[in-house]
């Protein structure tokens, strides 16, 4: 009987995909540190897609950090996310080379980092609207009981229609006690909450901090603390208060400024308790300032 139990408990055999047979690879896009991403045509159906193939060695190294915790793969997480501000994942699986892959809708647009750098008219006009959409995506992720752990402009695309799309779920973890335990410092140093840098207990409020850093950059093109390229250098300044956004952006709306600064609070208890509360303030301000697109004014 044990034999049969074992037999049926085995994971179903996954059919491996030969990437170059199934997809016409048109060209590499962007530059991921964990993966290669192609613009490709899916020969099944002819659809234009983004094909992300994860680097085997780097994925293994990441998975080793979560040994015994049963963290779902990036593909398993992404395929279940359904939100207008989150890139749609159409399929995931394993290549014939044993790499994990994801097939996504191809988002025609630019990286948010590019607009942060440019600070052009498009950015200035839509900034608050972009910020609201990022917040909606994050709120959805939190409602689904995930912690993103790597929210930053690098992981956000702005479509040609000014729609925000979160694109990378490589570091997402379940919002459960084992994953909130102190220790693991995966993420991007400049966007990491102090409790994460200090290896204390974490929760979804680490994402609220990263969201606030992102908002701060979208307004100022600067980070709230001096830029650092290692955890150690972040540790050196993280106990100092952040720069005041009001001093960098002349005439910034007070409700917007206060919402961002509260998200940057060093202690999680002083931050917004939920993304929803933070976004509500941005939405209120946007309505008052007439900065919502027409279709959103009554939403």
Tell me the binding residues for ATP.
Answer: 52
Q: How far is the CB of 111 from ligand ATP (least distance, A)?
A: 5
Q: Cβ of residue 88: shortest distance to ligand ATP, in angstroms?
A: 8
Q: What is the dihedral of CA 225, 241, 244, 248, to 10 degrees?
A: -30
Location of structure tokens 């994971």: 11
Q: What is the CA radius of gyration of the chain?
A: 20
Tell me the residue length of the chain.
299
Q: Which residues bind ligand ATP (CB under 6 A)?
A: 29-30, 32-35, 37, 50, 52, 87, 104, 106-107, 111, 154-155, 167-168, 170
Q: Of the two residues 160 and 298, which places its CB atom closer to ligand ATP in the complex?
A: 160
Q: Are 46 and 123 in contact (CB under 8 A)?
A: no
Ramachandran angles phi, psi of 129, nearest 5°: -65, -40
Which strand (E) or helix (H) includes residue 296? none
CA distances from 236 to 183, 198, 231, 233 (A): 18, 11, 9, 5
Query: Which residues sit in the known binding site?
Result: 52
CB-wise, 53 or 94, nearer to ligand ATP? 53
Scanning the chain, the segments in alpha helix (DSSP H) are 2-9, 19-22, 56-64, 74-78, 112-118, 121-143, 177-180, 194-197, 205-220, 231-237, 245-248, 254-263, 275-289
For ligand ATP, give the closer residue by CB, 112 or 265.
112
Q: Nearest approach, Cβ of 190 to ligand ATP (angstroms)? A: 13
Residue 168 vs 281, nearer CB to ligand ATP: 168
What is the β-pairing status of strands 48-54 and 89-94?
unpaired
Q: Centre a 10 Å sphere on the Cβ of residue 176 and count the other Cβ atoms it contains.
A: 12
What's the min distance (Å) between Cβ of 107 and ligand ATP? 4
CB 113 within 8 A of CB 154: yes
CB of 38 to ligand ATP, least distance (A): 9
Q: Are 41 and 48 in contact (CB under 8 A)?
A: yes
Choice between 52 and 283, CB closer to ligand ATP: 52
Q: Smallest distance from the beta carbon of 1 to ligand ATP, in angstroms?
A: 44
Shortest CA distance to 285 belongs to which of 179, 142, 135, 152?
135
d(CA 214, CA 223): 8
Whose Cβ is closer to ligand ATP: residue 100's or residue 204's?
Answer: 100
Provide, rounded to whole angstroms, the least separation between the CB of residue 133 and ligand ATP.
Answer: 16
Choice between 138 and 261, CB closer to ligand ATP: 138
């Amino acid at each position: 009987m044990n034999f049969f139990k074992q037999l049926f408990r085995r994971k179903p055999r996954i059919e491996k995909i030969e990437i170059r047979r199934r997809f016409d690879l048109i060209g590499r896009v962007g530059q991921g540190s964990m993966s290669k991403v192609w613009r490709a045509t899916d020969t099944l159906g002819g659809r234009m897609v983004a094909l992300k193939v994860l680097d085997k060695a780097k994925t293994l190294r990441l998975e080793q950090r979560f040994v015994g915790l049963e963290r779902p793969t990036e593909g398993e997480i992404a395929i279940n996310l359904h939100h207008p501000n989150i890139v749609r994942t159409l399929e995931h699986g394993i290549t014939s080379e044993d790499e994990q892959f994801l097939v996504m809708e191809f988002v025609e647009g630019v990286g948010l980092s590019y607009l942060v750098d440019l600070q052009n008219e498009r950015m200035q006009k839509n900034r608050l609207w972009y910020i609201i959409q990022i917040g909606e995506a994050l709120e959805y992720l939190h409602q689904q009981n995930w912690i993103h752990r790597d929210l930053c402009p690098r992981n956000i695309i702005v479509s040609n229609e000014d729609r925000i799309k979160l694109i990378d779920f490589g570091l997402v973890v379940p919002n459960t006690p084992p994953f909130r335990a102190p220790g693991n410092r995966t993420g991007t140093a400049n966007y990491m909450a102090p409790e994460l840098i200090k290896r204390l207990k974490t929760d979804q409020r680490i994402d609220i901090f990263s969201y606030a850093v992102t908002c701060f950059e979208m307004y100022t093109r600067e980070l709230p603390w001096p830029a650092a390229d290692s955890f150690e250098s972040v540790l050196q300044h993280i106990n100092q208060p952040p720069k005041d956004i009001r001093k960098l952006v002349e005439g910034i709306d007070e409700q917007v400024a206060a919402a961002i600064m509260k998200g940057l609070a060093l202690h999680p208890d002083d931050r917004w308790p939920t993304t929803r509360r933070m976004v509500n303030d941005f939405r209120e301000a946007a309505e008052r300032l007439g900065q919502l697109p027409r279709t959103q004014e009554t939403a």
